[in-house]
Amino acid sequence: MEPSTDKAFINLINQNLGIAYKVSQFYFDDAENRQDAIQEMMYQLWKSYPSFDGRSKFSTWMYKVCLNTALTYLKSNKRNKNEPLQENHYHLPSEPENNKEEELRLLELAIGQLSSLNKAIVLLYLDGFEYSEISEVTGLSKSNVSVRLVRIRRELELKIKQKLNR
């Protein structure tokens, strides 16, 4: 890449860095895996930046690259998963300080149980993306995105009710 292209890329990445952190937070429980995944996302963004043609917003394109990278990283990690339990697996989570924190924790747990594609749809929706942009990132039609969001909402409500009734 040329120096002017390098600067443009770095500026765009810095403006949208939260995307990589959000994706890694949604897909990886372990802090070390999150950091490794973010590094891989940055590499994939750098490598594929010359193919960014500007037909979509940079943030939409970045989400697509980050989500694809996270899913690929997850698959490769599952194949190589022979590591012992980490120390944090032995501790119970601390009690939330108030109901809002509890509700947010339950929502995060429920979202974590969704399929990879549905998790991506929720992440994009919660980040304020239009159906057309979610469609572009996921490869689904706009109407399929709409239908899936209704179903996902029902699924999340059911999962949260189940957790509350235990």
What would the pLDDT profile of 24-47 be if each residue is shown by its tens digit?
Answer: 998 988 899 999 999 999 999 999
pLDDT 10s digits, 83-118: 444 444 444 445 445 677 877 888 888 888 899 999
Task: Give the end of a domain, one of 91, 119, 138.
Answer: 91
* pTM of model > 0.85: no
> Final residue of a domain: which of 91, 112, 129?
91
Task: Give every CB contact of residue 118 below 8 A, 6+ residues apart in sequence.
Answer: 148, 152, 155
54 CA to centre of own chain: 22
Closest of 58, 55, 63, 53 to residue 10, by C-alpha: 58
> Is there a single domain that holds both residue 63 and residue 113?
no
Q: Which phi and psi angles does 113 have, rounded to 5°? A: -90, -5
Q: What is the pLDDT of residue 3?
A: 65
Alpha-carbon distance 122 to 42, whole Å? 22
Which of 8-22, 27-41, 91-105, 127-141 is least confident?
A: 91-105
CA–CA separation, 103 and 86 (whole Å): 26
Domain with 138, as residue range(s), is 97-166
Distance between CA atoms of residues 14 and 45, nearest Å = 12
Give the domain-ending residue among 91, 109, 133.
91
- Which range, of 7-11, 133-137, 159-163, averages the lowest pLDDT? 159-163
Question: Do residues 136 and 101 both lie within one domain?
Answer: yes
